[in-house]
């Protein structure tokens, strides 16, 4: 479902991704972890071209882009739009529209961008709200919800666009500790339902629970990869040191 090959990215003279390769099978959860600054967020953002890689290949489902992009501007824009439509992104903080209700936040993209029927989009949104444990809150405004509830709306909003994969960038790191569990619970449910997930997180215990694949990034490369055993019995000394620090 996801393929990343030879991904490189520098900011100015500083290489951030040196050569990142991995694949993720449909229906699996991949956890990206590693020290701050190791390039995790840049990998995630490259997958929907919020960052433009300098080199490498990114594929989601049947849509592959090779960087640097070639073709004229219209063709490049079209290719990027096609790739973006295949993934949903959940950020550290939810970025909900403050002046729209919960339901309004969920139907905005499907109706405005995807031109879907408003009634169909609203019905689909209600199903998603139930899935994230917020049935009955569709008329609330974001400010009336707790941070954990807001983040669950953020997840539902990403799903409302019917992506094939969900990219989650430290989805709980902006939350008060007592609210982390409810958001991780929703993500765990999505993993069980067979969503294809790529998650940047520092929650190692949660990662152990959900990860089919673990990628440990260090210095812009995948320094270790494997199943959840990477988190309990790493082969690499740098992975071991990192886990000792965060656990």
Nearest CA to 58 out of 113, 103, 7 is that of 7
What the block records as the tokens of 129 is 């709200």
Nearest distance, CB of residue 92 and ligand ADP, angstroms: 10
Residues 35-94 that bind ligand ADP (CB under 6 A): 36-42
Query: Cα separation of 42 and 17, whole Å?
Result: 8
Query: Cα separation of 91 and 17, whole Å?
Result: 20
Query: Helix, strand, or coil here: 237?
Result: helix
Q: Are 217 and 242 in contact (CB under 8 A)?
A: no
When asked if residue 152 is in the footprint of ligand ADP (CB under 6 A), the reply is no
Query: Helix, strand, or coil here: 14?
Result: strand
Nearest distance, CB of residue 204 and ligand ADP, angstroms: 15
Cβ nearer to ligand ADP, comparing 42 with 105: 42
* Helices 147-160, 177-192: inter-axial angle, 10-degree rounding: 30
Query: Cα separation of 200 and 206, whole Å?
Result: 11
Residues 4-23 that bind ligand ADP (CB under 6 A): 11, 16
Nearest distance, CB of residue 169 and ligand ADP, angstroms: 8
Nearest distance, CB of residue 223 and ligand ADP, angstroms: 12
When asked if residue 244 is in the footprint of ligand ADP (CB under 6 A), the reply is no
Token pair 């960052």 is found at: 51
Cβ nearer to ligand ADP, comparing 36 with 143: 36
When asked if residue 30 is in the footprint of ligand ADP (CB under 6 A), the reply is no
Cβ nearer to ligand ADP, comparing 41 with 105: 41
Residues 91-150 that bind ligand ADP (CB under 6 A): none
Nearest distance, CB of residue 200 and ligand ADP, angstroms: 6
Residue 30, phi then psi, degrees to nearest 5: -110, 130
Nearest distance, CB of residue 220 and ligand ADP, angstroms: 8
Query: Cα separation of 187 and 180, whole Å?
Result: 11
Nearest distance, CB of residue 38 and ligand ADP, angstroms: 4
Q: Total residues contacting ligand ADP (rule CB under 6 A)? A: 10
Q: How far are the Cα atoms of 56, 110, 158, 235 from residue 64, in angstroms, in the given order?
A: 10, 23, 21, 32
Residues in the chain: 247
Stretch that binds ligand ADP, among 29-37, 95-103, 159-167, 183-191 (CB under 6 A): 29-37
Cβ nearer to ligand ADP, comparing 122 with 221: 221
When asked if residue 219 is in the footprint of ligand ADP (CB under 6 A), the reply is no
Residues of this chain that interact with ligand ADP (CB under 6 A) are 11, 16, 34, 36-42
């Amino acid at each position: 479902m996801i393929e990343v090959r030879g991904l490189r990215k520098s900011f100015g003279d500083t290489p951030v991704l040196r050569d990142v390769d991995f694949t993720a099978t449909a229906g699996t959860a991949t956890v990206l972890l590693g020290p701050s600054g190791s390039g995790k967020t840049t990998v995630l953002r490259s997958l929907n071209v919020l960052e433009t890689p300098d080199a490498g290949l990114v594929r989601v489902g049947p849509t592959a882009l090779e960087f640097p992009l070639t073709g004229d501007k219209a063709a490049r824009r079209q290719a990027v739009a096609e790739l973006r439509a295949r993934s949903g992104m959940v950020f550290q903080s939810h970025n909900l529209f403050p002046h729209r209700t919960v339901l309004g936040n969920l139907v905005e993209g499907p109706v405005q961008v995807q031109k879907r029927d408003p009634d169909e989009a609203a019905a689909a949104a209600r199903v998603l709200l139930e899935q994230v444990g917020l049935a009955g809150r569709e008329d609330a405004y974001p400010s009336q919800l707790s941070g954990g509830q807001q983040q669950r709306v953020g997840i539902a909003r990403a799903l409302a666009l019917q992506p094939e994969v969900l990219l989650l960038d430290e989805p709980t790191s902006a939350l008060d500790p007592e609210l982390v569990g409810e958001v991780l619970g929703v993500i765990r449910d999505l993993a069980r339902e067979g969503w294809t997930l790529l998650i940047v997180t520092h929650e190692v215990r949660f990662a152990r629970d959900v990860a089919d694949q673990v990628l440990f990034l260090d210095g812009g490369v995948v320094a270790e990869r494997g199943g959840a055993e990477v988190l309990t019995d790493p082969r690499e000394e740098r992975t071991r040191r990192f886990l000792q620090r965060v656990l």
